[in-house]
Structure 1
């Protein structure tokens, strides 16, 4: 699959969702929106399970030994979670979003202009600060497929309907942010795919799969897992593989 196709689909769903939001308003019943979210949560679990099976990749076990892959994934999540929580990544993302929104919406101008800016900022933050943005874009670039971005596209499409009903065309303008952020992360994944060995990629994919479980739990309203705080695990995983392989 062509790298970047996930972002193209994401942009299309945001545009379609925004147009539907402008036409339909808030006519979708709450129950319908909840059922759709539940379905997307279940599909996220399926994608997460598929990604997590990378821990069984033969290249992974050949590099670090048969018993080490599970421990490396566990260690990555533990160390990454500690680092992320100490840095306050989840809290920082929320605070930055609130600050940015206050800064832009607080500017002088007409009510319609402020509504446009607020819609642009709010939707940009929603579409570009979640774990699926990072995981999906990196995996798209790494050559693991765009399934995660397709799932995110569905989520963003429904969110765009609700946002556009309230904020108007500013939601559609957020595609500029989506292209910039996800395109950059996809290019980064493309670069890493040419550098990281198969064992390291398998470790990153397996850790990413477990992070997706956290996303699914949030979508299913089971538990608000601080997935953003766990994102450093994606950087820790290849480091641990290198370290363990040196002693293997």
Structure 2
């Protein structure tokens, strides 16, 4: 039974409600420090996942080819456009977020967090991983992070942040149930290499959250689709 996406959705909704109620009463220094901690947690998770790799060459090749493919098709730009298309709905439901932000500031931040919550490497990897292995730990950790992130963003964006659970949950459920169908064809080595590539994406996301290096993490997402076939054939021929 797939439960991770629902837990993640509950975390976002509850965090958004708490943040909207708190308003501007969260100190700025706490918001900044929490963001850095989020990045650190992502880095730690990534290191643990990479350590599980079974075929290092297969993992590296998948990351390289996936990143190249993502850059060629401009995947991150496409995701940005998809999130921006939600502006019309947001404008009708939450015209100015009910707070201090200007109209354009509100929409800009809303699109940014929609991408952060719904299209992060951690969420996509976590959903696929749960579908294949039944392990919800990645989505549980993401839920912890999303809960506090939603609180911080909702202090300025208001209750609109809660609505982001809809696209995120739909995407995670689609990925998780799709992954269930490939379980009979996945070996332990393929799962290990898949987890390792997910770890690489988490590390890249951690660097980005901490503003150390702004990796285009969304452009690296194709690596998650390539790694298992590459891992399989690497094991067969080498």
* Structure-1-length-normalised TM-score: 0.81
What is the rounded CA distance, in whole Å, between the counterparts of 1:136 and 1:83 in structure 2? 21
Tell me the SS of whatever aligns to 2:213: coil
- Report Cα offsets for 1:109-129 as digits up to 9, x if no partner: 6xx65347969x645444212
- Corresponding residue for 1:114? 95
Q: 1:113 to 1:231 in 2, by over 3 A?
A: closer
1:104 corresponds to 2:89: yes
Unaligned runs of 5+ in 2: 98-105
- Corresponding residue for 2:60? 74
What is the rounded CA distance, in whole Å, between the counterparts of 1:225 and 1:32 in structure 2? 25
What is the rounded CA distance, in whole Å, between the counterparts of 1:241 and 1:162 in structure 2? 40
Any conservation in 2 of the 1:104–1:118 contact (CA below 8 Å)? no
- Corresponding residue for 1:216? 206
Any conservation in 2 of the 1:47–1:147 contact (CA below 8 Å)? no
Any conservation in 1 of the 2:122–2:201 contact (CA below 8 Å)? no
Unaligned runs of 5+ in 1: 57-68
1:189-200 pair list within 5 angstroms: 189-200=179-190
1:128-207 pair list within 5 angstroms: 128-143=118-133, 145-207=135-197
Tell me the SS of whatever aligns to 1:168: helix
Tell me the SS of whatever aligns to 2:42: helix
Deviation at 1:191, TM superposition (A): 2.4
1:25 corresponds to 2:23: yes
